[in-house]
Chains A and B, each alone.
Chain A
Amino acid sequence: MSEQQEISLSILKKRWLKFKTLKRGYYSFIIIISLYVLSWFLPVLINNRALVVSYEGELYFPVFSGYYAGSTFDQDVPGEAVYRQLDAKWEAEDSDNWLLLPPYPYSPYEDITVTGNKMFDAPSRTHWLGTDNTGRDVFARLCYAFNISISFALILSSLNYLIGILIGGSMGYFGGKFDLFFQRVIEIWSSLPMLFVIIIISSIIRPSFFLLIFIYTIVNWIGMTYLMRAEFYREKSKDYVAAALSMGQTNFKVMFKHILPNAMVPIITFFPFAVVGGITALVSLDYLGFGMPPPTPSWGQMLDVGLSNIPKWWMVFAPVSAQFVTLIMVVFIGEAVREAFDPKVYSRLR
């Protein structure tokens, strides 16, 4: 690469190139992103509803159009058609009807009420990771829970960032009474055991996904706020801010157009670790029974079932391994991002 080109590269691009050279983090990044994107297509990958059913010349798309009673396909079951059995039956009869099942034909919600499902089925070729206390497939639930965990952590971290940048930024930038007031608030807030406060609130109102994020944000915004306050406070005293102000820029513009890009390094490098915190928090809350409302698939809830039934080892190993693999990849990303954005001679956590 010639010198000319190197100068023209933006700093962000340089950091991205540096990040790409850090194989462990870069591959983790690619894997996590692809898995997360893939997890949005789970309904067509892991589901008990058939993708396509061709029955007596007509085509049905149960995954997309939803419920079909068993009687629609002349199947003698109560309620919804059981497509796996239908498939086996038609196969055996060698009939003209056919259907296409998703690659892993179990839903995270179908429990013991569906014939053929057993409680605590050990891992096997049909149920890769066994079944849980109500006969639901553990692997299917694990995958759906991955999507929920990552989404939860991403939204939570972004919200925390938004509040942190707005309040923390204003605290650092304006200082004075506003700063003092919020410093008291933060001190009070941080003296409380937060998981406990969430449990108290969750025990009063049964939270949904977004309500849980909302509650968690209320109690969890201080960390980022404090970080941003320090950052804005330091940047404020620099010459470029004085220059921008003397040119008549508004406070708003100075904060978000001038200071914020300069405070970007801690914002970006902290993000993966905020995600780690979010995932762990959700697992803890679900484990205690104050997280997502049942029957939402969640690692914490599975862990709870497993720990109440110690001999069913897969109920503990499956969620812990899933969480562990996810977290360690995010930590790898975090380490690489930090290395790329804020190089030091040694590795750092947090």
Chain B
Amino acid sequence: MTTYFIRRILLMIPTFLGSTILIFVILQMAPGGPLERTIQQLQAGAMQQGEAVGSVGDIMGGGSSVLPESALRELKRFYGFDKPIYQRYLIWLGIWPREIKHREVEFKDGATSAQKNVGRGNYMTLKLEGESVGVYDDKGVNSDVWKAAIDTESSKDGVILATIFQTEYSGILTGNLGISYTYDQPVTEVMAPRFKISMFFGLTGMLLSYIVCIPLGIRKALNHGSAFDFLSSVVIFVAYSIPGFALGGVLLVLFGGGSFWDVFPLGGFRSPSEVWETLSAWGKIKDQLWHAILPIISWSIASFAGLTVLMKNSLLENISQDYIRTAFAKGLQEKRVIWVHAIRNSVIPIASGIGGVIGVVIAGSYLIEKVFNIDGFGKLGFQAILDRDYPITLGFLVIVVVIRLVANILSDIALATVDPRIRFK
């Protein structure tokens, strides 16, 4: 058993690498990436000032009047496009040195050495040594902090261009998801508050659907074929046929104060912070609930139908088993047979679904977040795609992938825990 789970956890590694490589390649190969977008924005700015500008292609090829070549090099370095894609991926993972604190150095007219200020009055001496560049501090000792390399692409005849930089290993494996292009903050800092919001909705929604679905499923199974069963089946069919975000839309129109009743706010996680800060503790709870009711209903509807039917069918199947007949035959009370014998076996498939639910709860919510205008995790990821904010997009996808992989293992563990008959090999 333990070996099985250790193997499963180890197998996560190739899957994780595979899916991140896939995402990385799709994003990096895509036209209209952040580099092109920034250039376009600069170009549009120049256009407004009435300057003649070339196309993006011209600028990328270096034939621009707006963007000095050094600025373009700077941009390329910032977005990491000065490296081949496999290096970019490895840097992003954190197992290839990331170059930081870039400075450019020029070797003019055949000079073989140059000095560069590296801050705080410290100078480094760079010496051309064939294909490579040596870096020496003021005492003439080879520096082990600063490194340098020749930029062959930008060097022209007569002038050799080199960059001096430090290196570090930092990437997702070291917990560094990069810095968001749009928010100008570390990705983890941007994500943390939004992740909490999504977790709040996800967990409450999940809890709520379990609280409703399990008893409902049991009641339906025990009264199979009754009027109650029929009526609740109708509700289930309706719930199954209406996607959560569409239901959210209908609820908003009905209760959001447009044309019908003005009961609930039109969206948002809670009242704006000016109002929120003035509320008492009880007022905060009320405000939070007032904002959360409609989204949570929409959230739970997705799993409502599936869970209830699963519970009902599972219980029905168990009730028709021989061991239940045996339990009745030996004279046990019906209550005891159902609640102690049958139900314990019936919750097994529900327990195994927990992992899947966690994955859906966290990743599958951006439609609802968009409808209710909640600044949650999913909406952040969605907006990042629109903004071509690659660090956030990649960070979002990595987190979702990890959560799903972990959730899969969790459901297996849950299954093995509630059902001692199951032994994975």
Question: What is A's interface to B at a CB cutoff of 8 Å?
Answer: 184, 187-193, 195-197, 199-201, 203-204, 276, 280, 283-284, 287-288, 303, 306-307, 310-313, 316-317, 319-320, 323-324, 327-328, 331-332, 344-350
A347 touches B309 (CB 8 A): yes
Contact of A346 among B18, B253, B312, B400 (CB under 8 A): B312
B15 touches A188 (CB 8 A): yes
- The verdict on B233 contacting chain A, using a C-beta distance below 8 Å, is yes
Contacts of B252 in A (CB 8 A): 307, 310, 316
CA A331 – CA B237 in complex, angstroms?
Answer: 8
Contact of B386 among A203, A316, A346 (CB under 8 A): A203
* Contact A328/B246 with A196-B385, A348-B313, A349-B305 known, Cβ cut-off 8 Å: no
B138-146, B176-184, B258-266: which lies at the interface: B258-266
* Contact A331/B246 with A192-B23, A196-B381 known, Cβ cut-off 8 Å: no
- The verdict on B53 contacting chain A, using a C-beta distance below 8 Å, is no
* Contact A283/B246 with A199-B382, A348-B313 known, Cβ cut-off 8 Å: yes
Contact of B250 among A283, A320, A328, A332 (CB under 8 A): A320
In the assembled complex, the CB of B396 is this many whole angstroms from the nearest CB of chain A, namely 8
Contacts of A288 in B (CB 8 A): 367, 370, 382
Contacts of B246 in A (CB 8 A): 283, 303, 319-320, 323-324
- The verdict on B26 contacting chain A, using a C-beta distance below 8 Å, is yes
* Contact A287/B242 with A184-B14, A199-B382, A307-B249 known, Cβ cut-off 8 Å: no
B259 touches A191 (CB 8 A): no
Q: Which of A193, A283, A324 has the most CB of B within 10 A?
A: A193
Known: A306-B249, A346-B224. 7 other contacts (CB 8 A): A188-B15, A188-B18, A191-B401, A193-B364, A307-B249, A310-B266, A327-B241
Contacts of B238 in A (CB 8 A): 324, 328
* Contact A184/B15 with A192-B401, A288-B370 known, Cβ cut-off 8 Å: yes
B309 touches A349 (CB 8 A): yes
* Contact A324/B242 with A197-B26, A284-B367 known, Cβ cut-off 8 Å: yes
Tell me the B260-310 residues at the A interface (CB within 8 Å).
260, 266, 305-306, 309
Please, what's the 1-or-0 string for B376-394, where 1 marks a CB less than 8 Å from any CB in chain A?
Answer: 0000011001100000010
Contact of B19 among A188, A324, A328 (CB under 8 A): A188
CA A345 – CA B312 in complex, angstroms?
Answer: 11
| 10 A–B contacts, CB within 8 A, in A order | A184-B15, A192-B400, A192-B401, A199-B382, A201-B26, A316-B249, A320-B242, A344-B313, A345-B316, A350-B306
Interface residues of chain B: helix, strand, loop or mixed (majority): helix
CA A287 – CA B249 in complex, angstroms?
Answer: 11
A306 touches B253 (CB 8 A): yes
Contacts of A312 in B (CB 8 A): 258
Nearest-CB residue, chain A, relative to B248: A307
Tell me the B214-251 residues at the A interface (CB within 8 Å).
221, 224, 233, 236-238, 240-243, 245-247, 249-250
Nearest-CB residue, chain B, relative to A192: B19
B363 touches A193 (CB 8 A): yes
A184 touches B18 (CB 8 A): yes
Please, what's the 1-or-0 string for B134-165, where 1 marks a CB less than 8 Å from any CB in chain A?
Answer: 00000000000000000000000000000000
- The verdict on B6 contacting chain A, using a C-beta distance below 8 Å, is no
Contacts of B32 in A (CB 8 A): 204
In the assembled complex, the CB of B349 is this many whole angstroms from the nearest CB of chain A, namely 12
A199 touches B367 (CB 8 A): no
A200 touches B393 (CB 8 A): yes
B15 touches A200 (CB 8 A): no
- The verdict on B324 contacting chain A, using a C-beta distance below 8 Å, is no
CA A327 – CA B23 in complex, angstroms?
Answer: 33
How many residues on B have C-beta within 8 angstroms of the other chain's C-beta atoms?
58
Contacts of A280 in B (CB 8 A): 243
Contacts of B30 in A (CB 8 A): 200, 204
Closest A-B pairs by Cβ, 10 of them: A327-B241, A310-B258, A328-B241, A188-B18, A311-B258, A204-B30, A193-B363, A313-B259, A316-B253, A320-B246
Contacts of B253 in A (CB 8 A): 306, 310, 313, 316-317
CA A319 – CA B237 in complex, angstroms?
Answer: 18
CA A188 – CA B11 in complex, angstroms?
Answer: 11
Contacts of B224 in A (CB 8 A): 345-346
B241 touches A324 (CB 8 A): yes
- The verdict on B329 contacting chain A, using a C-beta distance below 8 Å, is no
A316 touches B250 (CB 8 A): yes
B15 touches A187 (CB 8 A): yes
Contacts of A317 in B (CB 8 A): 250, 253
Contacts of B305 in A (CB 8 A): 349
Nearest-CB residue, chain A, relative to B23: A192
CA A306 – CA B253 in complex, angstroms?
Answer: 9
CA A127 – CA B23 in complex, angstroms?
Answer: 46
Contacts of A307 in B (CB 8 A): 249, 252, 371
A284 touches B245 (CB 8 A): yes
Contacts of A283 in B (CB 8 A): 243, 246
Contacts of B393 in A (CB 8 A): 200
CA A310 – CA B262 in complex, angstroms?
Answer: 12
- The verdict on B71 contacting chain A, using a C-beta distance below 8 Å, is no
B249 touches A192 (CB 8 A): no
Nearest-CB residue, chain B, relative to A311: B258
Tell me the B308-324 residues at the A interface (CB within 8 Å).
309, 312-313, 316, 320
In the assembled complex, the CB of B317 is this many whole angstroms from the nearest CB of chain A, namely 8
B386 touches A311 (CB 8 A): no
- The verdict on B27 contacting chain A, using a C-beta distance below 8 Å, is yes
CA A331 – CA B242 in complex, angstroms?
Answer: 11
- The verdict on B84 contacting chain A, using a C-beta distance below 8 Å, is no
* Contact A349/B240 with A303-B249, A306-B253 known, Cβ cut-off 8 Å: yes
- The verdict on B10 contacting chain A, using a C-beta distance below 8 Å, is no
Contacts of A310 in B (CB 8 A): 252-253, 256-258, 266
CA A286 – CA B26 in complex, angstroms?
Answer: 22
Contacts of A348 in B (CB 8 A): 309, 313
Nearest-CB residue, chain B, relative to A185: B18
* Contact A204/B243 with A193-B364, A316-B250 known, Cβ cut-off 8 Å: no
B241 touches A331 (CB 8 A): yes
B313 touches A311 (CB 8 A): no
Contacts of A188 in B (CB 8 A): 15, 18-19, 22
Contact of B258 among A313, A324, A344 (CB under 8 A): A313
- The verdict on B413 contacting chain A, using a C-beta distance below 8 Å, is no
B31 touches A349 (CB 8 A): no
Q: Which of A190, A331, A345, A349 has the most CB of B within 10 A?
A: A349
In the assembled complex, the CB of B404 is this many whole angstroms from the nearest CB of chain A, namely 5
B233 touches A191 (CB 8 A): no
CA A73 – CA B290 in complex, angstroms?
Answer: 60
Contacts of B245 in A (CB 8 A): 284, 287
